Amino acid sequence: MHDMLFYLWFQAIYQASLRLCLLGHIYIQTLHAAGNSDWSRSNHESQRCHFVIGVNPCLSCQSPCADIKTAYLLSSVSSQSTASLAFVVTGVRPMSYALGTPSTAAQTQTAPHQHPSWSPYDDNGGTAAAVAGSDYCIIAASTRLSSGYSILTRESSKVIQLSEKVVLVSAGFQGDIRTLQKLMQTRNVMYQHNHRRPMGVNALAQLLGNTLYYKRFFPYYTWNLTCGLDDKGQGAVYTYDPVGNFERVGYSCQGSGKDLIQPVLDNQLKAASPLLVPAKNWMTSLPEDEAVDLIKDAFVAAGERDIYTGDAVEILVINKSGTRRMMLELKKD
């Protein structure tokens, strides 16, 4: 008799403890759902939508509902030490909670993942190209500035001349282009004050590479060319990727029209790589006038097929006599 009373007493305490644990867990989940809600109660006063407390989305709005008023315990603890609770709550659909290991816990449903629609970058298009000769360097860049299918301006220069014999040209995101060019202009002025001479194309090439590599974890969204005449009076073109890797080449092209212009330059110039061993002459053998005509023809062809290349081409020719600037009109549509 005493054993039976003790057993009944122990069973009652055991079931009461389980109920208290479950109600505490439910209370915490309810507070969590109410705290994470960011929409008003008034929109859901007349709705009896259903979702799992704290985690499952509302079927009508796909968000956790904060209008939780009443919960009713409908079932008790079974004899297998498993608790099953069903809820009829304003804004809550019935859900089963199971005690035990995480593998036996109830599976919750989550709303579809929403990808962010905002990006810190934008590709404003544009094309830049450069050709290095034995005693000259030709730099060209389109002036169209676009965003998507909209033309923002037709007169945006992508070229900045840092000294008499050094030019930096960039394509890509306009915000990063302006930021990078202002930074390089400042560094160039500091170099002149410290060394009492203008920065050479080789020094600028290394400085730009270090600057881009420094920003490699949040890079400048730009494609750059450093061009000019070196200490020997020979043309030099340095091409980069957005994180600072660079090499000296005889010619190069960057930007949205690269896939159209680079094959033309490869076919007409056929310059060897400066990394070949033994070394070969990697500069173009074309005369300056023919190289300028080649650049013009390449941009005219690219303007017919690339919507981000057009309006005009700004061309700079650097040689021992100085810098000559010219403009070539392209299609306006």
Q: What is the mean pLDDT of residues 160-178?
A: 94
In the three-class reduction of DSSP (H, G, I as helix; E, B as strand; rest coil), residue 194 is classed as helix
- Express as a percent the part of the chain with pLDDT over 90: 51
Question: What pLDDT was estimated at residue 30?
Answer: 64
Question: What pLDDT was estimated at residue 49?
Answer: 38
> Comparing 21-30, 81-90, 212-221, 315-324, which segment has the lowest mean pLDDT?
81-90
Q: What is the mean pLDDT of residues 273-283?
A: 68
Residue 53's pLDDT band (boundaries 50, 70, 90)? very low
Question: What pLDDT was estimated at residue 27?
Answer: 65
In the three-class reduction of DSSP (H, G, I as helix; E, B as strand; rest coil), residue 193 is classed as helix
Please indicate whether residue 49 or residue 108 has the higher confidence score (pLDDT). Answer: 108
Q: What is the mean pLDDT of residues 101-115?
A: 55
Please indicate whether residue 274 or residue 180 has the higher confidence score (pLDDT). Answer: 180
Please, what's the b/e burial string for 196-212 (b: 16 or more CB within 10 A of its CB; e: otherwise)? Answer: eeebbbbebbebbbebb
Question: What pLDDT was estimated at residue 285?
Answer: 77
Q: What is the mean pLDDT of residues 222-235?
A: 93
Question: What pLDDT was estimated at residue 2?
Answer: 58
Locate the DSSP E strands across the chain.
127-132, 136-142, 145-147, 150-153, 159-163, 166-172, 222-229, 235-240, 246-249, 251-255, 312-319, 322-329
Q: How far apart are CA 132 and CA 139, in angstroms?
A: 9
Per-residue pLDDT tens digits for 31-45: 555 555 444 444 444
DSSP state of 247: E
Question: What pLDDT was estimated at residue 17?
Answer: 72
